[in-house]
Each structure stands twice: as C-alpha cells, then as structure tokens.
C-alpha cells in the first residue's frame, strides 16, 4: 500500500524545477508510504512514489520501478494477491525480489496493461509510463478500493495522484469549486463517481483504464463491467451448495490476502461480515489472529461487547479500546486534512480511531466491508422486499395525502406516541417515511430518496445544476427485483464512493494497509449468480453469509438487530460540538463562500437546536464542507 503522484508536461522547464515540483507533490503522501520515497523523471514525464513496505521489504521492491526490458516505468499503489501465480505463467527469468510490483511489470511487458488487468486479483491504482510509445497509462481496481485522481491544469500539464493534496503542490495549481459536484455531495454526503470537488479534475472510475499521449485527449476504457455482470442473470443454487461455494471462495481470497511480510490483523465489530472474515481467517491460521474493536460509552452504539464474545469463541488475540466523547471530538478538526475532498459520513470518526488502534500492533488489517452490498444486508433492502410491494398497491394520491398528514405533526409529538408504544425516535422515522417512501412513484425513486441527504441540493448550492450520477433514472439496467436494483446502485455508488473512501483515508492516514476479502471480484461475481432468496430469506438479511458463519460461531452471538458504526452526532451538535458548529454555520461565513443558501442552512440549524427536527446528517454535510473549504480554499 502506497501513494503515487506525477505529471506529464510539454512545457520547457529546467529539470531541477520539475524535480522540485515532483518532490513537493510526493512529500504530501508520506502518511500513505512512510518507509521510502522514489522520484523518477525523464523528459516531461514525472513519477513520484511513497512506499509502505508490505511484501518484499528489501530495496528490490522500491518504486518507481523500471521493467527488465527498460520499456516501462511503474508507480503502483495496492496489492496483487495472485502475483505468484502470475509468475508461473510468465517466461522464466531471474527475479530481483518477490514483490508484486516486479511481477506486475513483467506481466505488462508480456501482455500489455490492457491484457494484464483482467488477469489481476487485487486492489490497485497504477501509473505506467511507456517509454517506447511515450504514453502514460492509468488504471484502477475493479471495485474502487484504491483512489486515483487526474486532470489537466490551466498551464496544460496533466496531473494525477492518490490524493488531491499531492496535486495541489503542482506549480500551476488553481482551485475552483465545481458547483455541480458540490450539489451531488449534498445529496450523497460524498462527491460521487468520476466527479471531483475541483473544476477540471476527475476520479478514474473503478475497473477503468486511461491512456494519454502528450498533447492529445485521454482515452478511457472498462475492463470489468459490473452492471453487465448483474444483468447476466442468476442461476439455480441448492442452499447448501451455495454456502459451501461461498466458503471456498472466501478461503481462496483470504489465502491471497493474508500474505504479508509484516504483522497482519483484522477489524472485528461482532457483526456478520467482520465475524465471518475473522472466523475463516482464524481457521486458516496457525496462530491466534490479532483482532481489533472500538467500544463506545453509549450502550446503543456499543458493539465492543459483541466483538469480545466472538473473539473469545474464536480464540483470537483481541484488543479493544473504549472511545470517550473527548477522543472523538478531538479528531473532528483533523477530518478536512484526512479527507481532502469534502466527506460527511460521520462513521469516519470511529473508523479512523480503530485504524489508529490497529496500527500500534500491525501494518495490515482485514475488514468485513462489502457484505451488506453483496448479500442484501441493509434495512432498505428489507423495506423494499416487505413493504414496498404492498405499499405500491395504494393509489399515489392517497399515499401523498398520508404523507402530508404525517408531516403536519411535529416529530416531538410523534415521539411521545412512540414512547407510549415502545418505539424510539418515532417522529423522525415517520417523517423520513413521509418524505421518502410514501410519495415515491416506484421502488428506485424510494431508494433515491432514502439515500439522499438534501433532497433538492440544487436549491441549496447557489447557481448549481446537480451533476449526473448512477442514481439517475435509466442509468442502470432494469433488473427484475427492486432489491437487486438497489444493491447494484449501492455497489456502483455507496460502496466505492463512501465505504471504501472512508476506510482508505482513515487507515492510510496512519500508514495502515486495509484489505477487503469480501470484495474479491470472484465473490462479487458469485453473489450476482445467487437468487435473491439466498440473500434475503424470511425477512433475514445476508442469509447465505450467515449460514457460513454459523458453522463456526453460534447464532446466539450473532443474531441481533443491525447496528451501524455510528456516533451520537445529533446530541453532539446540540452539546459539545455546538460552539464549533455555530461558528462554521454563522451566516457571515456562509455568505463569504458564496456557495450555499445561508438562510436555508440556518433554518435547519435552528430547528435542530430546538429539537423540532433531527437534521444531523444534512448539517454534517454542510459542516464538513465548510471545514474543508476553510482548510483548503483560503
């Protein structure tokens, strides 16, 4: 795991000036690669690399690395888990070391980059310079685990890098907020897809490559088509066969992902996904797996007790840390530095704290991310399967009338009813249903409303027209089941743009590599072959994954209501975070940016403070943007 950056220029500049610019860009990524730095320049091509040594700790793994034939130079972030298998397919040669970087270069020399990418099992962002063709090629892994930004600056230089902070150090850098991307951020709490918060810059899409010759427009292509895989249809599986096959595939992924020349551990929340990964990893390991969990003071947020019980059953070497409000609140001012594009998933806080905890003991940590998206784990899937098909039978006019009736009642009044019938936060739940579920014209409209924070971000962001996204009607294939359509949308948006960004930045900020076994592309393809009733059965989510886990962990340790990796944001904004938030939301500061409707924001803030509404997510979006803007745009 590392960080890379660089540029391709046609401008005539002295080599010392180019090297100094490259050194500044590369130095910003030291947290991603604390072990060594590499700079490579030739003509107008500059490649920089910071290394976190995980496999082959010797200088033989140093980057940027040139191929044996001398034609290619590579800067690479990630891991190729099947690189030793690839070596057996390549011509016999005297390998300099046992790094996957050297294998990757040899594969490119044999098959070319576009011929190599489909053969790779791993997570990666790649920058490859072809000295013979004078061509720069970029590529990103299938699910988007590793980040890669790129674009052309006003002076004409083409820049790229693992994080935006590297691009900011280029001498031609000019920053202007893309209002279209900002509107998308206010809907999704992240800047999604190929969009970037800065005008003129982009993210390379997962499973895509880009090729560029100086002075020409870049060409892009896709080497793994997830919507096509989803649309290919399901096949019949006997339940026991499906569980067995999932176990085989997960063990195959874990055998590749547990390989490291440094200490390795795993995150363990006690939920289905992380428990399955840790259970299978422990079964493959000769020694106790080192597992890590975070606990919270608030009982309704605390999963540490469940993680401890699973760890004790499996016999892992378990480490946990209870986070105080002070620990979490102290991190908040650092978030714009860690996530140098606006990012407002508040679980970024505990994710970074558990990464800090793990980094004290290990250099690699496996996570259980991906299980919800692959095996129908989110509550919205259950809602679509159980509620929508019945609700849709009611006339739309009647549903909209019911929504108006609910919204006419203050949440506090509905909360009193909820306390009487034993349902917490009933007011906000009913208001959310009235805003997102009852008025929806179809299941995907309901889904879009459920996952949207600000429902009309074009009105919030001044002068903005919301950009295109995968959630636009007609963008994704029309799969027969609403749950499958939602799952595909999550795999194209929420997973790469939120979950994987959160984990990558949170861990790499402390030099910790994370690996995600459930996102091995062979498991993803298998999950799309499964009929829906093997994922969501009799109201229980992730059925096939649960059955695999029950082989090693008793149901009594696992079966409980789903908990998110959350913080008590609503209470913090009314309490210990109030002064910080009030300062960022002060109308003069909002007007100063010239980007947001200050009156609309203030109205939400006052309603939240009064307790009339819980606007924690919408306000967190604005607060994280304001904090980011003040850190990076001044």
Give the residue ranges of the chain where pLDDT is below 50. Answer: none
Domain boundary among 187, 208, 223: 223
Distance CA 109, CA 30 (A): 29
Q: Can you give the CATH number for the domain in which 370 is found? A: 3.40.50.620
Residue 467 covered by a domain: no
**Domain end marker among 557, 576, 592:** 557
- 616-632 helix and 598-610 helix, angle to the nearest 10 degrees: 130
Same domain (yes/no): 519, 594 = no
Give pLDDT, residue 1: 65
Q: Is residue 347 included in any domain, yes or no?
A: yes
Q: Are residues 43 and 151 in the same domain?
A: yes
Among 198, 223, 248, the domain boundary falls at 223
Given a contact cutoff of 8 angstroms between Cβ atoms, the answer to whether 100 and 80 are in contact is: yes
The pLDDT tens digits of the residues spanning 71-129 come to 999 999 999 999 999 999 998 888 999 999 999 999 999 999 999 999 999 999 999 99
CATH of residue 204's domain is: 3.60.20.10
Residues 186 and 246 in one domain: no
Sequence-distant (6+) residues with CB within 8 A of 387 are: 437
Quick check: 149 and 167 in contact, CB under 8 A? yes
Residues with catalytic function: 2
61 is in an annotated binding site: no
In this structure, the answer to whether residues 178 and 243 fall within a common structural domain is: no
Phi, psi (deg, nearest 5) at residue 215: 85, 0
The annotation status of 35 as a binding-site residue, yes or no, is no
Is 80 known to sit in a ligand binding site?
Answer: no
- Give yes or no for a contact between 513 and 359, defined as CB atoms under 8 angstroms apart: no
**Does 17 lie in the same domain as 106?**
yes
* C-beta of residue 113 within 8 angstroms of C-beta of residue 132: no
Residues 202 and 276 in one domain: no
195 belongs to a structural domain: yes
Q: Which pLDDT value is given to residue 301?
A: 65
Question: According to the annotation, is 418 in a ligand binding site?
Answer: no
Tokens of 634: 């001044």
In 10 A of CB 336, how many CB atoms? 20
Domain interval for residue 624: 568-634
| 598 and 614, same domain (yes or no) | yes
- Which pLDDT does position 486 carry in this prediction? 95
For tokens 């209470």, what's the residue? 571
Q: Is residue 198 domain-shared with residue 268, that is, in the same domain?
A: no
C-alpha distances in Å from residue 263, one per residue of 99, 124, 125, 390, 545: 17, 21, 23, 52, 27
- Round to whole Å and give the CA distance between 406 and 421: 17
**Do 234 and 219 share a structural domain?**
no
Does a structural domain hold residue 429? Answer: no
Q: Indicate if the alpha-carbon torsion angle 540, 527, 481, 564 is positive or negative.
A: positive
Same-domain status, 213 and 237: no
* φ, ψ dihedrals at 186, nearest 5°: -65, -25
Is 403 among the domain residues? no
DSSP-derived secondary structure for 223-270 = SS-HHHHHHT------HHHHHHHHHHHHHHHHHHHT--SS-EEEE--S
For 53, residues 6+ apart whose C-beta sits below 8 A from its C-beta are 35, 36, 61, 261, 262
- Give the integer Cα–Cα distance in Å for 367 and 365: 7
Residue 29 domain flag: yes
Total number of domains constituting the chain: 3
H or E segment at 213? strand 208-213
Residue 588 lies in a domain: yes
Question: Is residue 422 assigned to a domain?
Answer: no
Query: CB under 8 Å to 375, separation ≥6 — which residues?
Result: 527, 535, 541, 542, 543, 544, 545
Residue 114 and residue 199 share a domain: yes
Identify whether residues 178 and 258 lie together within a single domain.
Answer: no
């Amino acid at each position: 795991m590392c960080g890379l950056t660089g540029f391709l220029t046609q401008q005539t500049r002295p080599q010392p000036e180019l090297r100094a610019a490259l050194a500044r860009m590369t130095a910003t990524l030291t947290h991603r690669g604390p072990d060594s730095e590499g700079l490579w320049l030739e003509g107008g091509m500059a490649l920089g690399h910071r290394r976190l040594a995980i496999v082959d700790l010797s200088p033989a793994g140093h980057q940027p690395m040139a191929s044996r034939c001398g034609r290619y130079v590579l800067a690479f972030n990630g891991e190729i888990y099947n690189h030793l298998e690839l070596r057996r397919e390549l011509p016999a040669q005297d390998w300099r070391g046992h790094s996957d970087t050297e294998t990757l270069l040899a594969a490119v020399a044999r098959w070319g980059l576009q011929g190599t990418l489909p053969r790779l099992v791993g997570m990666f962002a790649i920058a490859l310079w072809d000295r013979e063709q004078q061509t720069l090629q970029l590529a990103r892994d299938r699910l988007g685990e590793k980040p890669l930004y790129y674009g052309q600056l006003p002076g004409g230089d083409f820049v790229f890098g693992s994080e935006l902070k590297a691009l900011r150090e280029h001498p031609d850098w000019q920053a202007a907020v893309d209002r279209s991307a900002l509107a998308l951020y206010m809907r999704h709490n992240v800047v999604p897809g190929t969009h970037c918060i800065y005008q003129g810059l982009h993210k390379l899409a997962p499973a895509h490559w880009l090729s560029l010759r100086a002075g020409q427009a870049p060409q892009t292509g896709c080497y793994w088509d997830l919507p096509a895989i989803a649309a290919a249809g399901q096949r019949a599986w006997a339940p026991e066969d499906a569980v067995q096959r999932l176990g085989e595939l997960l063990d195959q992924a874990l055998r590749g992902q547990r390989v490291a020349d440094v200490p390795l551990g795993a995150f363990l929340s006690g939920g289905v996904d992380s428990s399955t990964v840790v259970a299978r990893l422990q079964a493959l390991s000769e020694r106790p797996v080192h597992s890590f969990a975070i606990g919270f003071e608030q009982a309704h947020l605390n999963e540490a007790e469940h993680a401890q019980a699973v760890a004790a059953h499996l016999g892992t070497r378990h480490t946990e840390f209870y986070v105080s409000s002070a620990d979490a609140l102290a991190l908040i001012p650092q978030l714009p530095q860690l996530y140098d594009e606006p990012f407002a998933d508040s679980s970024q806080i505990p994710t970074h704290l558990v990464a800090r905890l793990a980094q004290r003991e290990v250099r690699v940590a496996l996570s259980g991310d991906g299980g919800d998206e692959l095996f129908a784990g989110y509550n919205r899937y259950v809602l679509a399967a159980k509620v929508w098909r019945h609700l849709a039978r009611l006339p739309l006019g009647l549903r909209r009338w019911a929504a108006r009736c609910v919204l006419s009642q203050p949440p506090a009044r509905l909360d009193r009813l909820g306390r009487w019938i034993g349902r917490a936060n009933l007011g906000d739940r009913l208001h959310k249903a009235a805003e997102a579920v009852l008025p929806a014209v179809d299941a995907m409209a309901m889904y879009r409303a459920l996952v949207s924070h600000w429902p009309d971000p074009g009105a919030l962001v001044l002068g903005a027209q919301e950009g295109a996204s995968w959630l636009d009607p007609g963008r994704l294939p029309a799969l027969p089941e609403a749950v499958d359509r939602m799952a595909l949308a999550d795999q194209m948006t929420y997973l790469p743009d939120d979950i994987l960004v959160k984990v990558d930045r949170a861990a790499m900020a402390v030099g910790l590599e994370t690996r995600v076994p459930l996102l091995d592309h062979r498991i993803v393809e298998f999950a799309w072959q499964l009929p829906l009733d093997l994922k969501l059965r009799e109201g229980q989510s992730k059925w096939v994954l649960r059955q695999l886990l029950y082989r090693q962990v008793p149901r009594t340790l696992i079966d409980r209501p789903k908990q998110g990796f959350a913080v008590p944001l609503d209470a913090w904004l009314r309490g210990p975070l109030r002064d910080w938030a009030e300062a960022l939301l002060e109308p003069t500061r909002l007007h100063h940016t010239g980007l947001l409707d200050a009156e609309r924001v203030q109205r939400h803030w006052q309603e939240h403070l009064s307790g009339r509404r819980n606007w924690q997510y919408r306000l967190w979006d604005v607060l994280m943007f304001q904090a980011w803007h003040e850190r990076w745009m001044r």
